Amino acid sequence: MIEGRKEAASRTARLDAVFAALADPTRRAIIERLSRSEARVTEVAEPFQMSLNAVSKHIRVLEASGVVERHKKGRDHILSINTRSLDEVDGWIERMRCYWEERLDAMGRLLRELKKDHKLGPKKDRKRGSR
């Protein structure tokens, strides 16, 4: 995909922010919770052995990274996952996988070639066969 320098820069910044957001077990647990269903802030905070304020800080990091979104429903603040942000991260890992799978394929081909040569045996034997 061809993309402008600006888009590439903002994509880079987004990847930085999402990976940093994911580098914490509490934040990953929040994502896990919200992946099952959207929830109010207090519901999200409930299972954690920490203050509501501490959980709120983690939620703000997730919101800043774009992984979590917030909307109001009456008086409640409802949190939900923005799946597209994780798609981008997933896309990056997928791209790396493509590279190394190509390498593994190439190594596999090389190995098959070597095996074939081995089957034909060393050159002096080969001369004796039909040529």
Q: Could you list the residues that contact a copy of itself (CB under 8 A)? A: 12, 15-17, 19-20, 22-25, 28, 31-32, 35-37, 81, 83, 86, 89-90, 92-97, 99-100, 103
Eight-state DSSP code of residue 51: -
Radius of gyration of the chain, Cα coordinates, nearest whole angstrom: 26
74: left (phi over 0), alpha (psi -120 to 50) or beta: left
Shortest distance (Å) from residue 11 CB to a copy of itself: 10
State which residue, 48 or 92, has the beta carbon closest to a copy of itself: 92
In the chain, where do the E strands start and end?
Answer: 39-40, 68-73, 76-81
State which residue, 78 or 89, has the beta carbon closest to a copy of itself: 89
State which residue, 32 or 76, has the beta carbon closest to a copy of itself: 32
Eight-state DSSP code of residue 71: E
SS3 61: helix
State which residue, 60 or 103, has the beta carbon closest to a copy of itself: 103
- 69 with 82: CB under 8 angstroms? yes
